[in-house]
Structure 1
Amino acid sequence: MFQDKTKITMLMFLIFIINIIIVTSTDLRPGYYSKTCPQAETTVRDVMRNALKKEPRSVASVMRFQFHDCFVNGCDGSVLLDDTPTMLGEKLALSNINSLRSFEVVDEVKEALEKACPGVVSCADIIIMASRDAVALTGGPDWEVRLGRLDSLTASQDNSSNIMPSPRTNATALITLFQKYNLSVKDLVALSGSHSIGKARCFSIMFRLYNQSGSGKPDPAIDHVFRAELDKLCPRDVDQNKTGNLDATPVIFDNQYFKDLVGGRGFLNSDQTLFTFPQTKGFVSLFSEDQSEFFKAFVEGMLKLGDLQSDKPGEVRKNCRVVNARPAHIMSEDKMKNSDLSV
């Protein structure tokens, strides 16, 4: 009897070990699910297409997940985890709270994939596919994504708050951040073009309108006509969760974002500063004049961003909001090793 219990325990442990694979051992490649879940990419695109029809802003919101996920300990789906009694997730981090949205779209994608091929497609890969689809479905470029990521077992609110830039950030700080991930100045400017679609809150620009750099005055880089529009959209007493368009064509992925920056009509400080700093200004001008160059550079940047990986253990979550349930004896061992698994 004792031997039978031991065998069962060992079997459960081996199953657990098989499912928890070190992410860096995984080679990302196109067509990763061609045999195990051949309908994976079409399923993701179908859900994203329906989301676009229901609420155009939602696909732009989903695209943001790739940035907020990959910069924080690699592309591991950690941004999707809900808080638990023992873990503060990343959703309430300073850069994410009241900003990241449309998590339910990822839930819909995951539900559809679990019906089609249970336990196969990771949430981290869903983010990568959905981000690509958000761009392609709104008129931007389409590309072949590299897949094969695993989902994290934990998340870090502190890491997210410390890493992700604020809307007040200037180009110098952004360049420094991107360089840490081996992303070039060109990558920075091209990836900032993700703001070609979507909206942002008044909260993010109040200082630009009324107290830029503590001056008590508006940002002089804002075009005066555009500033009047922003003053009307975001007066001093506004509900700061009210939103404005990130560029003049917020539901179309194009190079209008860069044209707006050249004209002093960038919504966020972190956007407009790309045209006022000499290191980035040339790329803004190039992309404003040549949409094909922007599309090409954007795809290259998204692929490089998607290649950022964690070196922590991972799994394929059944629910993107929570880690998979594990046997009690293994959970107790995990608690003892919690410091090793934290990110």
Structure 2
Amino acid sequence: MARIRTVKPEFWGDEKLAQQPESIMLTCIGLLTFSDDYGVVKANHLWLKNQIFPYKANLRLEVFSKWLETLQKLDIIIPIVHRNESFYYIRTFRKHQKVEKPSKWRNLKEEDIIRLLIEKDYYLQQDGDCLKKHSPNSRGIVGEHSPPDKEKEIVSSNSKGREAAEELFFNGENLEKGDKPQAQAESPPSPAPPPPEEKVVMPEGFSEQFAKMWQLWKEYKEEVWKFKYKSVKSEQAAIATLVKSGQGNEEDCIYIIQYSIGRQWEGCYLPDELKKKYNGQQQTNTSQQWQGPGNAVRTEGGYNAAYKRDLLNRMAGNQSNGFSNPDGGTQ
């Protein structure tokens, strides 16, 4: 179903798109109107051609497909495939289109959109924009630290300085002629070995996929919320909290991360469907209780009122011969 969309003045001034033929610019606007309220549109070229240009009988499908390929190369639309069906995700849709009451109908679920974009090396920004991980506009998530070669140069420079100092000491500048350095002075004392570097340990039994998703979560936190874990211990504690929230299930933990990134949350929080899932399991466990005669019930917390009344009646009617115990036997 077509929707009313907003075309901002910046659209006509886009450096890449404005240099393309008018037909490609109109195709871009057409994709906006025929996408759902979440930026996803079917990638069936014949269907799109008939929707956007219904009366252009002379327009060949091959020509229209090339227009769509151009929009892909300009990084305006991102091709994604879900269950053997092709879609386009309009990269800047959520940044420029403000939908007050989005429709419940949608081409893809939110978690599927997030997962498919991650597979394409894209992720959603806080302002709704969708950037590639290695994009220069990603504000330094990748490549912030000094390159390894530079670190090697620093280490090499320090090593050369230490060697020069040792040569100056043992060339006799600090010894009288003919003297030989004592055995203890032949070599400088070995420096104390550095303490072992602490490393974050992934949960036992979890796969490499969880480790990659956790790394993506850290990059997202740094990019969107300007947050870094200050120590290995704090990061390890965050992982433990996540695993506890997901009740030790790797798939649930990965889904919690994907869902939190998609919602642009500051922390990893439990989605509603997982809350219902876990609450259902808890109710099933607590519903197992002892059933006595009549309405008498004994639970882990004690006896209910019906059980107590039944017990008093038995005691009053069987004082001479002993009374029966609902647990079995007599007293």
- TM bracket (short chain): under 0.3
Between Structure 1 and Structure 2, whose CA radius of gyration is higher? 2
Larger strand proportion of the pair: 2
* Greater relative contact order, per chain length (Cα 8 Å cut-off, separation 6+): 1
Larger helix proportion of the pair: 1
